[in-house]
Amino acid sequence: MHDADDVTAYTPEVVREAEAVHVDRACREDDPDRLMRKAARGVADAVLEMCPADGATVRVTALVGGGDNGGDALYALSYVALSESVGAAVALVISDHPHPRALEAARQAGARIISASMDEGDLCADLPPTDIWIDGLCGTGLKGALREPLARLVDAVNEQAQKTGALVVAVDVPTGVGSADGACPTHAVHATRTVTMGALKTPLVLPPACYRAGSIDVVDLGLAADLEQAGSGGRGLAGDLSQADRAARPDEYTQGEFDARPHATVRVLTCADARRCMRAPGRLDHKYTRGVVSICSGSETYPGAGVLAVSGAHGVGVGMIRLDSTASVRTLALMRFPDIVCGTGCAQSVVVGCGIDDERLSHARDVIIDTLNQHLPTVIDASALPLVVELSETCDMSSAVLTPHAGEAATLLDALTDRSPSRTDIDSCPAHWAAELARASGATVVLKGATTVICAIDEGGLPLLAVNAESCGWTGVAGSGDVLAGVIGAVLANPQCAVDTAARRVGAVGAAVWLHAQAGIQASGARSTRTSPSDTRSDAEDVAKLHEAKNPSRPIGQDRAHHGVISTFGGGHPIGAADIAAAISPLVGTVLQRTTAS
């Protein structure tokens, strides 16, 4: 669990504009590669951190294109070539015009340079045996999808890495990934780790492109002030993507279509979002000041869903949970949670729909209408989602939170708009479709998936996006969504949690999504796949000193050039939805402890 402050991802265009100012300054000071060398140091650090701690040497191969990413890769190779951990350093140059100074630096450091013509038919057949690839083929400046022979080369590298267990460190973004909306073409590098430059970028956090990035590090290039100024010009990732066009030409779409508004950002959820929405109760607090959530869920057909929604809310620590359900669901819930109150009454938020069957649907409709008319936060889940089509015509939906998965979102969009996306369409660009559904319904949308996207339309008509970038596969079990609905309802019931603006609603709902995902990680025992820098940091420092001795005009510096922002998780063990719910309470305690400490 990262105890990070607010984390923002920017569109590639915004980051390029911010970088340009610093590159121009470096050129005027007769040091045009200053940022490139610092970026490369971050890549080199990542490579050295991934070397075995037992002293075994590794083979490192850099895939070198003709742009700045290729220059970053060559400079990085020049650094790692000096390490005793690296037995062989090879640059596979796939360009007639590689960065000349970086190429010379790699050559002087002892790297083997292989020039491969783009016209060679055996480009993919003779890939050198490699333990760690550095992907510096293409960056965010790529327009359109990869074409041959690069597409074939990327596929060959992915295949070799999968077969041999080789690791892949991508420079800035994995080759082929770059669309600001998170859409991803067929041919793109599967990175183990991505070292991105200057700031986190939207294609690294939005699905499905984010699934190619692996764990993510950011190299600080001193762009914070420039990015903050750029971000003040707009707050939402916006654009009008033509899914029909994308379907007609899936490998030829134009990247950066969301860059129509150049100051677009995406909020990446962290512990800071949860801290903002919670507080430990004080001596004078009581059950009503701590918040009341009402849960209208469960049925004779699906009794477990109501119990799971209650369990999610219970873990968050609200003052009271009211359960509006059938006799059998009430009995089951009381056996597990004797402190709940059965029946209806005043509440600060309402959860409706988990496990509702046809016999209870009319009652669910009445509950939703009543709570929306009171402008109470209303979480609409599962069986109640089809009611949104009718209710959006007669009710103010601004206080509603919809929690569809891709299939349910496709059904809603088909009914609410003149678009008829399939589930596959939704999965191909969740950020776009979450924004479409938020605009069409007027509600805050939680588009559930391996990477969950949250969206609301702000007062200026722009989509505000947040994303939960860390999760584990064990969370994808039956009933997990019921627990999530309960968590969202409980967080929204907390008086500490302000939801009077679209931005605050996205933050509060996002905090609940983050809690649920982190609870799944902790319950399953999944572990970050990121290598600990302490294993090899001394080696990285030695390399820095050695390189500075050999290249006094091009120092690398001693400080760690990058910091981890997003981790992928692996391992662990099977869990059920009840295990996720049980992990929420101790997780909330950890969050509150960090709030006190801060």
Residues 349, 403 within the same domain: yes
Does the residue 550 lie in any domain? no
pLDDT, one tens digit per residue, over 374-390 is: 999 999 999 999 999 99
Give the per-residue pLDDT at 556: 40
Tabulate helix, strand, coil % of the chain (nearest 5): 45, 15, 40
Does the residue 249 lie in any domain? no
Residues 315, 211 within the same domain: no
Does the residue 559 lie in any domain? no
pTM over 0.95: no
Does the residue 372 lie in any domain? yes
Does the residue 134 lie in any domain? yes
Residues 228, 308 within the same domain: no
The label of the residue with tokens 């967080």 reads 491
Does the residue 597 lie in any domain? no
Residues contacting 207, CB < 8 A, separation 6+? 182, 427, 430, 431, 449, 450, 451, 453
Does the residue 116 lie in any domain? yes
User: CATH number for the domain including 498?
Assistant: 3.40.1190.20
Q: What are the contacts of 336-343 at 24+ separation with CB within 8 A? A: 336/307, 336/310, 336/311, 337/310, 337/311, 340/310, 340/314
Residue 180 pLDDT exceeds 50: yes
Report CA torsion sign: 46, 51, 55, 58. Answer: negative
Number of domains in the chain: 2
Give how far the C-alpha of residue 344 lies from the chain's centroid of Cα atoms, to the nearest Å. Answer: 38
Residue 159 pLDDT exceeds 70: yes
Residues 339, 199 within the same domain: no
Residue 303: HSE in the Cβ half-sphere, 13 Å Cα cutoff: 10
Residue 380: HSE in the Cβ half-sphere, 13 Å Cα cutoff: 31
Mean of the pLDDT values across residues 526-549? 51
Residues 98, 225 within the same domain: yes
- Residue 178's pLDDT band (cuts 50, 70, 90): confident
Residues 100, 168 within the same domain: yes
Residues 173, 276 within the same domain: no
Helix ranges (H only) for 277-339 are 303-316, 327-336
Q: How far apart are CA 229 and CA 19, in angstroms?
A: 13
Residue 244 pLDDT exceeds 60: no
User: CATH number for the domain including 141?
Assistant: 3.40.50.10260
% of the chain beyond a pLDDT of 90? 77
Give the per-residue pLDDT at 596: 58
Residues 50, 132 within the same domain: yes
Give the per-residue pLDDT at 246: 40
CA distances from 488 to 135, 350, 352, 513 (A): 40, 10, 11, 7
Q: DSSP string covering 13-24, please?
A: HHHHHHHHHHHH
Residues 420, 292 within the same domain: yes
Does the residue 423 lie in any domain? yes
Q: How far apart are CA 412 and CA 388, in angstroms?
A: 8
Residues 151, 276 within the same domain: no
pLDDT, one tens digit per residue, over 19-35 is: 999 999 999 999 999 99
User: How much is the mean pLDDT over the chain?
Assistant: 88
Give the per-residue pLDDT at 249: 36
Residues 326, 468 within the same domain: yes
Read off the DSSP letter of residue 210.
G
Residues 78, 175 within the same domain: yes
- AA identity, residue 359: E
pLDDT, one tens digit per residue, over 402-456 is: 999 999 999 999 999 999 999 999 999 999 999 999 999 999 999 999 999 999 9
- Residue 538's pLDDT band (cuts 50, 70, 90): very low
Domain that holds residue 482: 271-280+288-524+573-592
pLDDT, one tens digit per residue, over 131-148 is: 999 999 999 988 888 988
Q: DSSP string covering 47-108, please?
A: HHHTS-TT---EEEEEEE-SSHHHHHHHHHHHHHTTSTTEEEEEEEE--SS--HHHHHHHHH
Q: DSSP string covering 405-417, please?
A: -HHHHHHHHHHHS
Give the per-residue pLDDT at 300: 96
What are the residues facing 294 on neighbouring strands?
A: 322, 350
Q: How far apart are CA 374 and CA 372, in angstroms?
A: 5
Q: How far apart are CA 528 and CA 521, in angstroms?
A: 9
CA dihedral 512, 518, 519, 522 (to 10 degrees): -170
